[in-house]
Amino acid sequence: MKNCIYTTADEAVKIVQSGDRIYVQAAAATPKILTDALAKRATELRGVEVSHILTSDYAAYADPSLRESFYVNSFFLSNNVRHIIKEGNGSYTPVFLSELPRFFYEKIVPIDGVFISVSPPDRHGYCSLGVSVEACWAAIKHARYVIAQVNENMPRTFGDTSIHISEITYLVPHNSPLYGLEYAERTSGVEEKIAENVAQLIEDNSTIQVGIGSVPDAVLKKLSNRKHLGVHTELLTDGVVDLIEKGVVTGQKKTINTGKVVCTFMFGSKRLYDFAHDNPIIEVRESKYTNAPAIIAQNTQMISVNSAIEVDITGQVCADSIGTKMYSGIGGQIDFVRGASQSVGGKAIIALPSETRHGESRIVPFLRLGAGVVTTRFHIQYVVTEYGIADLRGKTLAQRQKILVNIAHPKHQEAIERTFYETWKKDNL
């Protein structure tokens, strides 16, 4: 990979051969011009595997009609590839995000090629991976070829982001806006109450990790009166920018990476990406660092806030499937649950509405048949709904049943208790 060449996407992807496995950079950095060009070669290729965590926009290679040409191996199921399991043109590989780079470094999942999106090279020949590192470096180091979309809209960021053009096989100039998220200006009363309850658990000088969605966004908005918060997270969103500009997030009390906001990828608005550009406060690191429980735990008062699909009355958390139907993935939830729970003064929080949009309880007597347990009853600490906070640490199964019922929606509480006495009690007493 010494003689980097500028070319078009169509020309660059001609290097891909049948049977190759490609890794695609994630989220806002998804190099769609390259994946689209690859999809156009469907009639020429057979058995190409496309691997990634979540990606953005329509994934042409995931079209079931192209199943003979492309197989999708997703390490996290986003809505653009969620159909692959049912359609049979792909599958999901369970993995902690902290361990995904290891799959490539140790060739558990060998990689032939990598598609990335980078900033233009500087005068020394270095580009930036910008808004997403995750497992890119592990894939790059073990790939035969690397194809990079060169995008002037990609911010130059600090951390594990610098890549020299000598490590890139083909550079494809193509400017396009980075993928982003639209944030709702208003949140529901349920989300507001959940956020208020979560915020009660976050004290001054804490280091926080929050995920994506309306509840995490609402939580961040509730922290405006805190002092010297730090951020060590998997995903960075716009809400953190607000807190930095208000002087709430300073990172000065962080035990490690003092004064820095650490993430492995960011996903938000253009404002977020502009803020991150050439900003030494932001460090985008490999997920083997950001998501390593041993690293996370070094932050005192580490607070992790993650979501769930449902939680049973013993404290088992399903966050990746609806029964047997795969919905998302493990991601970094258990990485941060473990890290926060081992931190001095740390707290691991699972926050969710008490009901689904269809009025079903999300605090349940037992998980649905086939549901995946992401956070186990042994790892669980706090569960929060709009009806309160359940601290499950040191609680027996019987005690957990009572306090979890108390934060369920009132209309479901009697049914949950009845099922408990008819099943759990019968089988265990």
User: Catalytic residue positions?
Assistant: 234
CA distance linking residue 28 with residue 23, whole number of Å? 15
| Residue 130 dihedral angles phi and psi, to the nearest 5° | 65, -110
CA distance linking residue 234 with residue 132, whole number of Å? 10
CA distance linking residue 237 with residue 376, whole number of Å? 27
CA atoms within 13 A on the CB side of 352: 26
Tokens of 24: 């695609």
CA distance linking residue 367 with residue 363, whole number of Å? 9
Contact at 8 Å (CB) between 65 and 41?
no
> What are the beta bridge partners of residue 427?
none
Tokens of 36: 């689209």
* CA geometry: angle 249, 255, 258, nearest 5 deg: 50
- What DSSP string runs through 117-130? EEPPP-TTSEEE-T
Instruction: Indicate the SS3 state at residue 98.
Output: helix
Report the 10 Å Cβ neighbour count for 397: 14
Q: Which amino acid is at 32?
A: K
Tell me whether strands 321-322 and 325-326 are parallel, antiparallel or unpaired.
antiparallel
